[in-house]
Structure 1
């Protein structure tokens, strides 16, 4: 009888140890699962799982993001994004919006990236993540060909009307020199350029490449690229939400591949007839006193 009781006690003890061991194993598994979830709880993991990436662009910016003669969205920025998405094996969904809406859309999580010739400035880098630059350029002005819009220096912007987006760096430059900025929303190039030609506005401060191809698209307008003013060298990059470091790393890895195999150069030359993927060799004036 005593041996039977002893055996029963031993079996009960073994059962308790096994049960405790199972609980500890479950806790460990649960903790491990939480760690994995935490590690995977980032935007790149969501994109990878869904197989789709959403990108803000304007569709109105010659030759960065615009509609061609076949009414297809294209441009340097658009095709860079398509190549990145292809190499990452995800589908890309473009959402067209004004430049002033893009950064808030990223901040709210409505879209994953923005690609629209956006300059990576010090202030913006405090609020968002940026990829490595995929385009290098500088700023210039579109003025009337007949009279230079009365502008022969940056200081001559004082009192002029400058067409542009409310939150762009180019508008900040115009305002810095005393111009009144006239905003348009997500208007196309023709609206901006026509207004300079007719005198509704005086000038557009913008990227050299975009301005060059914008002016060329409307030969009947009284406009030209200012022949003497080259200022504020720029670097354009893809914008992401702040602290999405894994996504930034993934994008940068692909951009580096594209740079190394010549794809970035090919796309830049295709749309700009120059290799805008490399830093400019032009003598470009730096602007002092701008908090960008």
Structure 2
């Protein structure tokens, strides 16, 4: 299959969606514009839904043969995830990653997209509407930061540091209770541990050399496919804690994304062992 993916155009598309549908609603949502999905911390807003409709419409024009899988589309039709697993070509989108931050007026949210071909992520993009730039990667071609001007800079992950000097993002919200009992008491081994409530910005931090590793459970494809590719293409290492590769078919489990294989191993040894 000759994909001919125009990642620059996809980056522009995410920017256009943010300018048209997301930023005008930031800190401008009425009570009825915010709704719970599964819990008080699992939210959807008018911005999520409007941005996803915008992106889906434009993607149909750019890549008419691709299956479109958005977070909000899956909320309405969970069978889309099964179709994603078998699709020859698919576009996976999180229209507002960090919805809880967005709804609370916290300026830490992102727009994310992955292009998947026969189960493999071949392009990933994370756009920051407030910084107005996009981190993107194509498989085998490295990762870069693209400014709104079109100028681009190569991305590189951080060098390995011992846990006592490491910066980490640990998204423990969805950890099983038993895993919380193992990991949380060990976080004092890490120099700085944070939880942005926005995987997009945590992956951006990792891919630009600002952290040694991130840890996640609940592995929905729109949350991790873009960042996993960008991190890997920037020189990092991403795998589940059993050492197996992360794939779009993974929905559960625990994932470590790290700036290097050494940092990945240090996170595993330091946080997930019983010692």
The TM-score normalised by the length of structure 1 is 0.27
More helix by share: 1
More strand by share: 2
Instruction: Say which structure, 1 or 2, has more relative contact order (CA 8 Å, 6+ apart).
Output: 1
Larger-gyration structure (1/2): 1
